[in-house]
């Protein structure tokens, strides 16, 4: 018996709609924030000319305007931390990882292993990496500050991927090693 995939509904449902939604531009392209009415719930950087809620009209809230102002200050170099209310949704393990991410200051970096040890998960690099990738509040919860052992970039899911992470690291003056290039196969 072959499992059947559910058909994907191309139209968003009422339940997918955030209470508040605001978009703007930044040095990395378009940016989108959503809110549950009191806190910021998601932040997305444009990827392949798309944002997750492009099909919805904006519905601005004070918390989103404040968040965008703080993000603009971050990009201008006048802000190093954020103080808007956040409401991340995840598993207890993901929440622990994201709390650890929030403790990494501007201009600092940690490895996945260091982060794992700090939150009491030991050297659970892959599990930490999965939780970091699931972060729906990048920049505000600074997942770009996590590197592989030796300071190497292994990936980034926002914006243009690794180039976006490199830009953010350089913006903060964080030393890193570029990702390894895949070897090319030569056929004789």
Strand-pairing partners, residue 43, are 33
Long-range contacts of residues 16-20, Cβ cutoff 8 Å, at least 24 apart: 17/53, 17/56, 18/42, 18/53, 18/56, 18/59, 19/59, 19/61, 20/59, 20/60, 20/61, 20/63, 20/64
Residue 86 structure tokens: 């956040």
Structure tokens at 175: 């030393």
Residue 26 a catalytic site member: no
119-158 burial, b if ≥16 CB within 10 A, otherwise e? bebeebbebbbebbebbbbbbbbbbbbbbbeeeebbebbb
Catalytic residue among 22, 45, 115, 143: 143
- Beta strands 110-111 and 146-147 are parallel
Active site residues: 143
């Amino acid at each position: 018996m072959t499992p059947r995939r559910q058909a994907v509904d191309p139209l968003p449902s009422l339940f997918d709609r955030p209470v508040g939604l605001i978009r703007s531009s930044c040095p990395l392209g378009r940016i989108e924030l959503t809110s549950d009415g009191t806190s910021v719930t998601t932040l997305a950087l444009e990827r392949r000319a798309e944002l997750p809620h492009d099909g919805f009209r904006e519905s601005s809230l004070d918390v989103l305007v404040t968040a965008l102002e703080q993000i603009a200050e971050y990009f201008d170099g006048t802000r190093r931390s954020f103080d808007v209310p956040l409401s991340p949704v995840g598993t207890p393990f993901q929440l622990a990882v994201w709390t650890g991410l929030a403790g990494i200051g501007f201009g600092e970096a940690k490895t996945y292993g260091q982060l794992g040890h700090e939150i009491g998960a030991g050297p659970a690099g892959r599990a930490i990496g999965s939780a970091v990738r699931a972060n729906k509040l990048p920049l505000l919860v600074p997942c770009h500050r996590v590197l592989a052992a030796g300071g190497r970039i292994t990936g980034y899911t926002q914006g243009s991927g690794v180039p976006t992470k490199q830009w953010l690291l350089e913006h903060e003056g964080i030393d890193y090693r570029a990702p390894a290039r895949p070897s090319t196969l030569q056929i004789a």
